[in-house]
Structure formats: C-alpha cells, structure tokens
Amino acid sequence: MSTTATYTVKGMTCGHCVSSVKEEVGEVAGVTQVEVDLATGLLTVDSDGSVDPAKIVAAVEEAGYEVANR
C-alpha cells in the first residue's frame, strides 16, 4: 500500500538545498517519490508501505536541515 507523508523543512534557501534534501530522503528504504517546495518548505514523501518518520527526519538532518515540529 502506498502512503504519502508531509513534513516542513526549515533552513532551505536555494535550489541546491532542495536537491540535497531530495537526494537524502530519496535514499530512505521504501521511499518512491520525493517532492520539495522551496517557497513553503513543504516536503512530500511517497512510499511503499509505512516508513518510520524518524528515518525521514534523520535524512533531512543528514542533508543539513531540520524538520519543524508538527
């Protein structure tokens, strides 16, 4: 079953920021698609089945940014 989750990423200021986040989150097991909106900071993650949100947060932090509290 496919699922979609959204997160708000803080600290992105340019297209390179978006690329970094997309690359790191895209490497999380189970993730099938990653969309990032620079203007709003919205990160949308599509995955096969359930992906642990902590893994998404860790991937965003690995890229050098943080997820806002939801």
- If you ran DSSP here, which 8-state letter would residue 69 be given? P
- How far is the C-alpha of 13 from the C-alpha of 36, rounded, in Å? 12
Residues 13-50: pLDDT tens digits?
999 999 999 999 999 999 999 999 999 999 999 999 88
Class of domain 2-67: alpha beta
Segment 46-62 mean pLDDT = 95
Q: Give the start-to-end residue ranges of the domains of the chain.
A: 2-67
- How far is the C-alpha of 24 from the C-alpha of 43, rounded, in Å? 12
Query: What's the pLDDT score for residue 49?
Result: 85
Q: How far is CA 6 from CA 37, 53, in A?
A: 11, 10
